[in-house]
Amino acid sequence: MLVGGECMSKVIATAALPGEYRYETPEIVDYLKRSWFVAVDPRTARKAVTILKGSNIDSRCSVLPIEQIFSDLSFEEKNDLYIEAMKKMGEKVLLLALAKADLKPTDIDYIITTSCTGFMIPSVDAYLVNQLKMRGDIERLPVTEMGCAGGTSGLIYAHQYLKGNPGKRVALVSVETPTITFQKGDHSMENFVSAATFADGASCVILGDTPQVAPTIIDTSMYHFPDNTHLMGYHLTNSGLKIVLDKDVPFEIQSHFPGIIEPFFKRNGLSFQDVAHYIFHPGGKKISHMVEEYLTTYDRNILDSKAILREYGNMSSATVIFVLNRMLQQQEFQAGAKGYMLAFGPGFTAQSILLEWR
């Protein structure tokens, strides 16, 4: 028996918007050989190339041209670029989703924004309210510091709001620019892995009620790994946000995996075979491989997640909505079909969402 009963947390529309500049992996390697690697010892350069080529990512998108990503930008300059991208991409992706939903900006009652790759006060939702002339009584919730789990966090908060406010509509807007955080003078393994894995993108979900069969949030869960705040995040330095990415992240996830999914399915009276669609945030090659290996034993896959990682890279909180958007575009769904969303983020946390097409 599904918990939560009837609710109106339906996904009315989704939209995904990659960064303006797209680069294939060979292009990036060639550029680095002619620029950044000139000041790096040959062994370190070879290591960086190996990581880039072995990431299972064919192309990455950025809000900046490649020359600017690998230039000497100050923290202030980086953050100004972040703010500019937040306002520009946030507006574009929200308008794309509203058009797909056949809604106007004034039809939105609650706007949630997620981002972790810069700082801005007022938060981007305040600018969107003004830029799109949304209603004066709209409610706002900026979600920061959730990292890659921000997309699922935003959906969970939207669901909580809609349960108590039937008939309302929510817009969740995620905008991330990890390429702006690149540290040119940092030759650590963490910085190489970050540069090889992360990319820029924005996504949007409109939630509310619709007479159409649509993915509906049935249940949610946040699972916290005890004493693991060191695994992932950013360290604030004079040159900007320096990635914190512990090598033990995949192993910690693997050790906790049964405790994340199995109790969540059990309380909803479900088995792995009952859930056909898995919408997983692909953090990187190792984590994706581990999750895929686990689900293969139940004859399930994360093909859409792997495709997004391969085509766009890890766009932090925006990525899981890219995966959902791709799945909705490429498949037909019958009423009663079930889906499971999962993302990991700093804290360390795993966040789960159960969907049913209703």
State the pTM of this model.
0.94
Surface-to-core class of residue 267, CB atoms within 10 Å of its CB (0-12 exposed, 13-18 middle, 19+ buried) = middle
Q: Left, alpha or beta for 206 (phi > 0: left; psi -120 to 50: alpha)?
A: beta
pLDDT digits (tens, 9 = 90+) for 334-355: 999 999 999 999 999 999 999 9
Q: What is the 3-state secondary structure (H, E, C) of the chain?
A: CCCCCCCCCEEEEEEEEECCEEEEHHHHHHHHHHCHHHHCCHHHHHHHHHHHHCCCCCEEEECCCHHHHCCCCCHHHHHHHHHHHHHHHHHHHHHHHHHHHCCCHHHCCEEEEEECCCCCCCCHHHHHHHHCCCCCCCEEEEEECCHHHHHHHHHHHHHHHHHHCCCCCEEEEEEECHHHHCCCCCCCHHHHHHHHHECCEEEEEEEECCCCCCEEEEEEEEEECCCCCCCEEEEEECCEEEEEECCCHHHHHHHHHHHHHHHHHHHCCCCHHHCCEEEECCCCHHHHHHHHHHHHCCCCCCHHHHHHHHHHCECHHHHHHHHHHHHHHHCCCCCCCEEEEEEEECCCEEEEEEEEEC
Reported as a pLDDT band with limits 50, 70 and 90, residue 4 is very low
More confident position, 239 or 137 = 137
Check pLDDT > 50 for residue 209: yes
Q: Give residue 22's pLDDT.
A: 97
Check pLDDT > 70 for residue 298: yes
Q: What is the mean pLDDT of residues 237-248?
A: 90
Spatial separation of the C-alpha atoms in residues 229 and 347, rounded to whole Å = 5
Q: What is the mean pLDDT of residues 68-94?
A: 96
Count Cβ atoms below 10 Å from residue 322 Cβ, excluding itself. Answer: 30
**pLDDT mean across residues, the chain:** 93
232 touches 345 (CB < 8 A): yes
